[in-house]
A and B are shown apart, each in its own frame.
Chain A
């Protein structure tokens, strides 16, 4: 990556982190943040209330939004590579649809306890992808296209299930809960939630960073990758499994987060190039920083919390439009021989 690109990323991260630490419904000045961070040196913290808000509410939320942003952006880049499709998103195999169904099911029939909803969403998210994978493996055609179609089938199935649940849900409490869950938010972030989510997301992201060069070969046509010595079917299973665990853990904890996994890899490709060894870390850093900033906006612009997907869509969708106008960055194939 160009040095200017790295510098730009670091600057973006530092600025976002600074804003995220200070801003919120309970603003803490830079001085206050500094006094909180350096309390161990003997500086007196601003007040007990500020200290509690900072350490128990704001900090876990900041860490979660950054790590979840890293995770789903990496998963987006991996799915785009596996399906040789610049428009693939992390939910292409149905993980989001499955998770939403799981969450709605738990909210309506079991309990609204956060951990139970999270667990149900995680189980159904991974179940959806497993179904898509099994469905695709029944076909004699082992190409990635079949897997994408299976993902669409499974997504449609779980979306229908979700619609049924929402149709019969009690409109006075359950429906609102489901809708707010689907739109996604970090407002429930806590150290307890971070403990259940982050180990899986961090471990998966690190694993994908380690096995990143091989993704270059995975973007080649099946026959080419096979003759280069990569057992593409076995490795596809590996990458899909790890990415799915990351996305399912993220979505289960904070609900759906639109656009981030689709768009961050594109900006990262512009900054760091196509080689996945540089692209994956760049995507992670960029995605984490972006979601951190978006969450800061979500919790501090209005008096009430804005669902995170609304913000990421408002900023993400026009950006994708811009990318489509400049096909160069999408890496869309030009006609042969021109």
Chain B
């Protein structure tokens, strides 16, 4: 078992966010983490990465309690693609990606030529070789996310956490990112936990899915079994329905407005 979360509760100060979550993530697959805004997806990823200390319970990666490991040791097991990122200084994308080698480079040293060559390869594989010498903080949100994905890939860990990686991506790049993740999972035997909002991406690319509602795990299992209309409505909202296309794919579509739009007072205001 690459990643096991056991009776985990966590929160910020006095505000509880996660309640008693037990989740085992199968090795060598993509697990989607779904839930509405504020359901605790990012908090869960923070606990797994030992950035937030759980109030109760813990997280094990390959049998080791994550909170007992040193930062370097965690960084050799787990990488993270954050929701959004920025830098105060105009680092080039090449320099940004090279930071992914920090856990392998000695404190008094810098990445070797071999590392630089590998970094450029990763850049190429993600399809952003044109950005190599561009300053990171002049890129669009989507381009930044691709660079951060490249950095996590360059970090080369058996477990990857991605926090809404598709948030700023265009349609084509959303699928490109998921296809890259599929290939990585297959070739490296890595495990990826990805928080996603789009159920169709989950259906199309993920092996497993874990559903969070108000900080509790309400459903977990293989995508096909969990992604039923009833569960989706319960977790993601009432205005959801599933359909089967002529090609045999299941797709999730909106069922019509969830609030009585014609009654909204803002519409009658002038």
Expressed in whole angstroms, the minimum distance between the Cβ of A242 and any Cβ of chain B is 13
In the complex with contacts A228-B99, A229-B76, A275-B95, A213-B87 CB distance below 8 A: no
Residues facing A in B106-143 (CB within 8 A) are: 107-111, 137-138, 140-141
Instruction: Tell me the chain B residues, 48-89 only, with Cβ under 8 Å from chain A.
Output: 49, 51, 70-72, 74-76, 78-80, 82, 84-89
Contact of B75 with A229 in the complex, beta carbons under 8 Å: yes
Cα distance A249–B42 in the bound complex, in angstroms: 45
Interface flag for B155 (CB, 8 Å): yes
| Residue of A whose beta carbon sits closest to that of B168 | A337
Q: Is the CB of A220 within 8 A of B80?
A: no
Residues of B within 8 A of A221 (CB): 82, 85-86
Q: Would A331 and B90 count as touching, CB distance under 8 A?
A: yes
B84 to chain A, nearest CB (A): 7
| Alpha-carbon distance between A86 and B90 when the two chains are bound, in angstroms | 11
Known contacts A216-B95, A217-B99; is-contact A226 B87 (Cβ 8 Å): no
Cβ-neighbour of A224 out of B71, B85, B107, B138 (below 8 A): B85
Asked whether, in the complex, the Cβ of A217 is within 8 Å of the Cβ of B102, the reply is: yes
Contact status B108-A210, CB under 8 Å:
yes
A215 CB to nearest chain B CB (Å): 10
Interface residues of A in 190-236 (CB under 8 A from B): 210-214, 216-217, 219-221, 223-224, 226-231
Is A51 an interface residue, CB under 8 A from the partner? Answer: no
A2 on the B face (CB < 8 A): no
How many angstroms from the CA of A336 to the CA of B50 in the assembled complex?
28
Q: Which of A159-190 contact B (CB under 8 A)?
A: none
Within 8 A of B (CB), among A63-88: 80-81, 84-86
B interface, over-half SS: loop
- Asked whether, in the complex, the Cβ of B70 is within 8 Å of the Cβ of A231, the reply is yes
Smallest CB separation, B64 vs chain A (Å): 15
Contact assessment for A336 and B91 in the assembled complex, using a CB-CB cutoff below 8 Å: no
Chain A residue, CB-CB nearest to B94: A275
Check A230/B102 contact, CB under 8 A, given A213-B110, A334-B137, A336-B141: yes
Is the C-beta of A333 less than 8 angstroms from some C-beta in chain B?
A: yes
| Docked-complex contact A333 and B86, CB < 8 angstroms | yes
A219 to B102, CA, bound (A): 13
Q: Is the CB–CB distance between B90 and A227 below 8 Å?
A: no
Does B155 contact A228, Cβ atoms closer than 8 Å?
yes
Main secondary structure of the interface of A (DSSP, over half): loop
Q: In the complex, which residues of chain B have a beta carbon less than 8 angstroms from the beta carbon of A328?
A: 90
Q: Is the CB of A274 within 8 A of B80?
A: no
Closest Cβ of chain B: how far from A87's Cβ, in Å?
10
Q: How large is the interface on A (under 10, 10 to 19, 20 to 34, 35 or more residues)?
A: 35 or more
Q: Given A220-B99, A227-B79, is A336 in contact with B90 using a C-beta cutoff of 8 Å?
A: no
B109 pairs with A229, CB closer than 8 A: no
Closest Cβ–Cβ distance, residue B162 to chain A (whole Å): 12
| CB of A35 within 8 Å of the partner chain | no
* List of B residues within 8 angstroms of A85 by Cβ: 88
Give CA–CA (A223, B46) in the complex, Å.
Answer: 9
CB-based contact A274/B90 at 8 Å: yes
Q: With both chains docked as a complex, state the minimum distance between the C-beta of B197 and any C-beta of chain A, in angstroms.
A: 18
A280 CB, min distance to chain B CBs, angstroms: 12
A residues near B173, Cβ cutoff 8 Å: none
> Whole-angstrom distance between the alpha carbons of A230 and B102 in the complex?
7
What residue in chain B is nearest A209 (Cβ atoms)?
Answer: B108
Asked if B251 lies at the interface with its beta carbon under 8 angstroms from chain A, I say no
Assess whether A274 is in contact with B102, with CB atoms less than 8 Å apart: no
B105, closest chain A residue (CB): A213
CA distance A144 to B141 in the complex (A): 25
Which of A140, A227, A333 has the most CB atoms of chain B within a 10 A radius of its CB? A227
Q: A269 within 8 Å of B by Cβ?
A: yes
Asked if B103 is an interface residue, CB under 8 A from chain A, the answer is yes
Q: Is B92 an interface residue (CB 8 A)?
A: yes
A229: chain B residues at CB < 8 Å are 71-72, 74-76, 102-103
In the complex, are the beta carbons of B107 and A336 less than 8 A apart? no
Q: Is the pair A86, B141 in contact by a Cβ cutoff of 8 Å?
A: no
B51 contacts A223, CB within 8 Å? yes
Contact of A228 among B70, B100, B168 (CB under 8 A): B100
A-B contact pairs, 23 of them (CB 8 A): A80-B89, A210-B108, A211-B107, A213-B111, A216-B91, A217-B99, A220-B87, A221-B82, A221-B85, A221-B86, A223-B51, A226-B51, A227-B78, A228-B75, A228-B102, A229-B103, A230-B71, A275-B95, A331-B90, A333-B86, A333-B87, A336-B84, A337-B141
**Chain B interfacial positions (CB closer than 8 Å to A):** 13, 46, 49, 51, 70-72, 74-76, 78-80, 82, 84-92, 95, 98-100, 102-103, 105, 107-111, 137-138, 140-141, 155, 168
